[in-house]
Structure 1
């Protein structure tokens, strides 16, 4: 059995579990050792654009690699929001790094309710705005905005898990990504 050491650039249990589940789906039979580490994203605490969120995911993966250089894979998971027409949408970017290569993917997006948008525009992070609107505590380390809005039909872990799988494509099918 192959063994892989995976580092997630976060101590958030949702992000760690999403990486674990996604990795296990694409590398069945692989024994994994997974750990979360705190590193800087190099972007705002609440990224407000697709570009900033993507950069945060890549920065986190690269910074995790610097912090724990002896691992096999490093993952950056960065949630973000962006204005879209009259509203605001939420999403995340996942960056996977191994052997000097990167794979990346973005989750699907979903619309945020006006009350949450107002609080974010006043300077709250999305998780804090969700907690205030929904009367919760630390929902970003649980079901997240998507779980709160879908009655847990889609949780934050599930949302991220699919994108983790997609970010791993270059490592699952390396023959299709020469020199990546």
Structure 2
């Protein structure tokens, strides 16, 4: 089966590879740089979901791709503070998207305030953590959980939920 992930970010690609490997699914995975169609820093569940769906759908524009995967990270404001959120979408041509969300953690107020003022989480995290390319490695969740959960693991969880729903749909 040929699937594409709408990203070349190593953490997202690794998540797709790990989830497929854990579920013993024989696939050829093609990372693709496709537009999300949302802001660089999605600021709600709805916008983050839309980015994931758009990435997955844009993968299907390639003729040989059977399944498109979109993984999108964002933030969501709550009465308890600003939280990291992550969503995924799995799209098969001619079918409605399968959508799943994952872990959330509250961002420290100094980080949250910078995002509210228009900065993106990746560069803010590089500044705060002094780790280069943090969004391609452990991510904010890795930094703030002392690497107990990393960005690729967070997205692997979402991928496993997507795969499970896909398998259930095919019964």
TM-score (norm 1): 0.89
Question: Are the aligned partners of 2:7 and 2:33 in contact in 1 as well (CA < 8 Å)?
Answer: yes
Q: Which runs of 5+ in 1 are unaligned?
A: none
Pair 1:107-2:102 in alignment: yes
> Within 5 A, what are the aligned runs for 1:95-174?
95-101=89-95, 102-174=97-169
Other structure's SS at 1:105 match: strand
- Find the aligned partners of 1:47 and 1:72 in 2 and give their Cα distance: 27
Within-5 A mapping of 1:20-169: 20-26=17-23, 28=24, 30-66=25-61, 68-101=62-95, 102-169=97-164
Cα distance change on mapping 1:168 and 1:100 into 2, 3 Å:
farther
C-alpha contact 2:6 2:69 (8 A) present in aligned 1? yes
Match of 2:11 in 1: 14
Matches of 1:121 and 1:133, distance apart in 2: 16
Counterpart CA distance in 2 for 1:40 and 1:121 is 23
How far does residue 172 in structure 1 lie from its aligned partner after superposition?
1.1
Shift of 1:146: 0.4
- Asked if the contact 2:20/2:26 (under 8 Å) is kept, the reply is no
**Alpha-carbon shift at residue 155 of structure 1 (Å):** 0.3
Q: CA RMSD for the aligned pairs?
A: 1.4
The answer to whether the 8 Å contact 1:104/1:168 transfers is no
Partners of 2:163 and 2:105 in 1: how far apart?
Answer: 23
Following TM superposition, by how much is the alpha carbon of 1:114 offset from its aligned partner in structure 2, in angstroms?
1.1
Structure 1 residues 159 and 166: CA distance shift in structure 2, 3 A:
same
Aligned length: 170
| Cα distance, 1:175 vs structure 2 | 5.0
